[in-house]
Amino acid sequence: MWIEQTVDRESQQKLYVQIYTIIKGKIEKEEWPAGTQIPTEDELCRTYNISKATVRIAISELAREGYLKRQQGKGTFVTYSMPNLGMAMKTRFTEDMFEKEVRADKEILFRGIGEPPPEARSYLKTGDKIYYILCRRMVSGEPAYLEASYISYEMLPDVEELDIAKGSLYSILQEKGIKKIFKVIQTVEVSKAGGEDARNLDAEEGQPVLVVHRLLLSSDNTPVAYTKFIGRSDKYKFQTEFERIR
């Protein structure tokens, strides 16, 4: 039985935000577990005495965040499930910043649509256009690491208009992306610098570098973006922190 909740029309909070909060609460409390078909737009409109436009905004945001999924001709279903208790992993990339006077800068070496390397298209599993961003992190005027990012154009349609020099790609995708990031699969390896990467890092051919691959996935396991970090071993560290989920 669907227990009604009400919206507060005297509140300064917009109606679509209230509907968003109500639906999200039912999902997170598992009143509507994963796989449940939620009430139709018409039913939600009648229950809360609101417009279809209000309902659609709330549902669209919940779908973008991975709580709901629309199925053509069938309805809207819950896709979110509460995580199992276990270990969460936090990671951080750090430059060799042990001196007091250190300046870190981010340079955009390239951004635009282009044919990515086979590994990137394999990770993203798409035949769509792929937007490529190559950044270099400079520490006290010296290259520390490169960050190559590949994004399916359909996941971030306005990418060309965004200021990617400020903030992280993760934050941009969470705020502007069609789908939000729910999971990250990460692979770390040691490789050798070569070609353009060696030149951009001001490293010798064959010099050891740390390479970190990250595949960013939505809640329905759709690849959102793929990033590759290449760091000089003498300028760059990789730190991992584990924390128990309560």
- Considering the domain architecture, whether residues 125 and 209 belong to the same structural domain is answered as yes
What's the one-letter identity of residue 136? R
Q: Is the pLDDT of residue 171 over 90?
A: no
Stronger pLDDT, 1 or 201, i.e. the higher one = 201
φ/ψ of 123, rounded to 5, equals -65, -45
- Tell me whether residue 6 is in a domain: no
Using the 8-state DSSP alphabet, how is residue 169 labeled?
H
- Considering the domain architecture, whether residues 119 and 234 belong to the same structural domain is answered as yes
CATH number of 93's domain: 3.40.1410.10
Cβ-count burial 132-152 (b if 16+ within 10 Å, e if not) = bbbbbbbbeeebbbbbbbbbb
Contact between residue 136 and residue 111 where contact means Cβ atoms under 8 Å apart = no
Q: Residue 153: is it exposed, middle or buried by C-beta count within 10 angstroms (0-12/13-18/19+)?
A: middle
Kindly report, residue by residue over 182-191, the tens digit of the pLDDT. 888 888 899 9
| Cα 40 to Cα 123: distance, rounded to the nearest angstrom | 35
- Tell me whether residue 2 is in a domain: no
- Considering the domain architecture, whether residues 21 and 142 belong to the same structural domain is answered as no
- Considering the domain architecture, whether residues 71 and 37 belong to the same structural domain is answered as yes
Using the 8-state DSSP alphabet, how is residue 114 labeled?
-
Average pLDDT, the chain: 82
- Considering the domain architecture, whether residues 101 and 67 belong to the same structural domain is answered as no
- List strands edge to edge, sheet with 142-152: 104-113, 130-139, 142-152, 223-232, 208-217, 183-192
CATH number of 27's domain: 1.10.10.10
Is the pTM higher than 0.85? no
Query: How many domains does the chain fold into?
Result: 2
- Tell me whether residue 101 is in a domain: yes
Helix (H, G, I), strand (E, B) or coil at 18: helix
User: How many other β-carbons are positioned within 10 Å of the β-carbon of residue 66?
Assistant: 19
φ/ψ of 210, rounded to 5, equals -95, 130
Asked which of 78, 95, 122 is the last residue of a domain, the reply is 78
Stronger pLDDT, 21 or 90, i.e. the higher one = 21
What is the structure's pLDDT at 169?
A: 80
Residue found by looking up tokens 């961003």 in the block: 133
Kindly report, residue by residue over 26-65, the tens digit of the pLDDT. 888 888 888 899 999 999 999 889 999 999 999 988 887 7
Q: Provide the residue range defining the domain that includes 56.
A: 15-78
